[in-house]
Structure 1
Amino acid sequence: MGFFIETLIGGLMAGMLYSLIALGFVLIFKASGVFNFAQGAMVLFAALGMARFAEWFPQWFGFESKALANVLAFVAAMAMMVVVAWLIERLALSKLVNQEAVTLLMATLGITYFLDGFGQTLFGNDIYKIDVGMPKDPVIVGDSLFQGGILISQEDLIAALIAAALVTLLSVFFQKTATGRALRAVADDHQAAQSIGIPLNRIWVIVWSVAGFVALVAGIIWGSKLGVQFSLSLVALKALPVVILGGLTSVPGAIIGGLIIGVGEKLSEIYIGPYFGGGIEIWFAYVLALVFLLVRPQGLFGEKIIDRV
């Protein structure tokens, strides 16, 4: 029983991290109605900025405090992502207002390749580390209840709590603020939103900035766990089944979808994997997403689209 609970907790913590990346997809889709393939590149670009700024600032300004370097690096990386958001709106999205969704989709693909290439030019292509002080050693709890206790990764636990707090904050932002309601209005109909005075260019800058902030937090967490390398952008692929399962338009759906996939892949790998030779954790989420596409393509919490002719 203790091992099952340990696996379950590990799946929940992994699921929260998947939800954090999936939030970036949901934010962009809610504001523009297009799937943002650049989210993985944004996570990588933000993580590269955080890692390199934390390395460069002590050299440039002559101080040794790692905490100060991390704070300054976070501020600089966030400012960089806001500039990226402004440039994306100014140079790409503002030219594509009221265009077909596939046109916007292709624009995000172009942004993906640009950020990947520009990131290598600006920050280099080595493997970098992010050290924000999260404890690496696991702890054992519940040893009085279960034989051997339950092994919990402190790093994963803190990362999951950060992800949960950010998800909660963004949910409140979308539901309770005027800007959040404006974002939903823009997603529903660009022309209608413009006709009632919602400034489309400002809304897009805001939502890409928020998505950049989410990408930065996700990049710091995953960079701390895995190191900052160019395969980090592939982590975003794990979020694709999450948004399919939860629904492209639902922030709560991103949370629930991430938890389901995180728990499902851990339990399936442990309890079903031995019968198939292992490796289920790699493809479980995608098979589950395929099933949902066949049965409920809008996801658990997505809005069902009905076309009347």
Structure 2
Amino acid sequence: MLYDVLIKPFADMFGAPDFLMQVLWEGLVSGVLYALIALGFVLIYKSSRIFNFAQGIMVVFAALTLVGLHEKGVPAWLALPLTLGVMFLLAVSIERVVLRPLVNQPDIILFMATIGITLFLIGFGEIIFGGENKVMITRELGIPTGSWEFEPFGGFLSIEQRDVTAVVGAVVLVAALLLFLNKSKMGRAIRALGDDHQAALSVGISLSTIWVVVWFIAGVIALATGIVWGSRAGVSFALEVIAYKALPVLMLGGLESVLGAIVGGLAIGILEKLFEIYWGQPLLGGNTETWFAFVLALVVLLFRPQGLFGERIIERV
């Protein structure tokens, strides 16, 4: 009875239900990672009105730092906190050297500054780590590399254990982030700065401290994303391209919405996988995952320019 009501309608449309479940799972994992990257963009934009173009290279830089430290003989259990320390120093350096001198400058100047940060980190990273592809230290970090195999509905379903770890870790990270933003004093200050910049500054909230904190949180998110993506595809500067998938997520969910980043990431991850498997490959020859998310975001923007969860801007003359 349950199969006839919940599964059979989809089976008639998409074929074998076990294959549909496999496709949905792969889309969910990709969507979780897209959402994580988008969260880094959202946090920095909410607190400083800066669109951080450097978030993608931060993913690569964090992953390369972790792998590079391990290659130098540092144990994985020590390399992980040391990498977090490097991301904190990076956040402090960006605030002191780049952002503080540019306070009250036009948004385009700050955006161009993040492009400069991107180019610097690419060059600096290549000098330190080289340009070759590296293998993520998955086992050393305690991330399982096997798979679970099931036979639901008489078919076959394979789930990578590292993907389950990634989803669980992402849920824990997002929950911790929401608790921090809603319950801690610093989190409330970040939200206040995002709601009303001038009012927050007028009551004594330190802009420089907030910037360091949010850039460090973005660095933590970048490290988590880099570990997961690196375990799937290796660690190299080509990994930066994956971060561009966060752009349609931001357009879909809204640039200032944490919830929008989560929902938008999951929606794009699942929908692009369904479209690729069931329509892209049979009708268009495949490779639709490179552009489907951007087309979907464009369609949404035509009807809702602020995104699904963004606040509607009303200007009165």
TM range (shorter): over 0.9
- Cα offsets for 1:96-119 (capped at 9, x unmatched): 212221111111111111111111
Q: How does 1:1-309 map to 2 (within 5 A)?
A: 1-58=17-74, 69-133=75-139, 134-141=143-150, 143=151, 145-273=152-280, 274-309=282-317
Tell me the amino acid that sits aligned with residue 279 of structure 1.
Answer: N
User: C-alpha displacement at 1:169, in angstroms?
Assistant: 1.4
2:135 partner amino acid = K
Can you give the 5+ residue segments of structure 1 that lack an aligned partner in the other structure?
59-68
Q: Partners in 1 of 2:256 and 2:19 — Cα distance?
A: 36
1:272 Cα deviation after fit: 0.6
Residue identity opposite 2:313 in structure 1 = I
8 Å CA contact retained: 1:138, 1:152 = yes
Deviations 1:212-236 (A, max 9, x none): 1111111111111111111011110
Q: Deviations over 1:49-103 (max 9, x none)?
A: 0000011134xxxxxxxxxx11211111111111110011001111121222111
8 Å Cα contact 1:57-1:73 kept in structure 2: no
Q: Secondary structure at the match of 2:245?
A: helix
Give 1:29 deviation, angstroms.
Answer: 0.7
Deviation at 1:191, TM superposition (A): 3.1
The answer to whether the Cα contact below 8 Å between 2:138 and 2:145 also exists between their aligned partners in 1 is: no
Secondary structure in structure 1 of the residue aligned to 2:149: strand
Give the alignment's Cα RMSD to 1 decimal.
1.4
Task: Report the counterpart of residue 14 of structure 2 in structure 1.
Answer: none
Conserved? CA contact 1:171–1:252, under 8 Å: no
**Partner of 1:64 in structure 2?**
none
CA distance in 1 between partners of 2:178 and 2:296 (Å): 25
Deviation at 1:132, TM superposition (A): 2.6
Q: Which moved more, 1:86-95 or 1:176-185?
A: 176-185
Contact 2:27-2:271 within 8 A present in 1 as well: yes
TM-score, normalised to structure 1, is 0.92
Cα contact 1:246–1:257 (8 A) shared by 2: yes
Paired letter, 1:127: N
Post-superposition shift, 1:151? Answer: 1.8
Partner of 2:10: none
Where 2:244 maps in the other structure, the secondary structure is helix
CA distance in 2, matches of 1:205, 1:166: 19
Percent identity, please: 53
In 2, distance between residues paired with 1:93 and 1:187? 17
d(CA) in 2 for partners of 1:137 and 1:276? Answer: 33
In the alignment, the residues of structure 2 paired with residue 119 and residue 261 of structure 1 have an alpha-carbon distance, to the nearest angstrom, of 30
Distance 1:112 1:187 in 2: 24
For 1:156 and 1:104, locate their aligned partners in 2 and report how far apart those are by CA, in whole Å: 36
The 3-state SS of whatever aligns with 1:19 is: helix
Q: CA deviation at 1:185?
A: 2.2
Counterpart Cα distance in 1 of 2:154 and 2:125: 48
Residue type at the aligned position of 1:19: A
Taking structure 2 as the reference length, the TM-score comes to: 0.90
Aligned length: 297
Structure 2 distance, partners of 1:131, 1:207, is 27
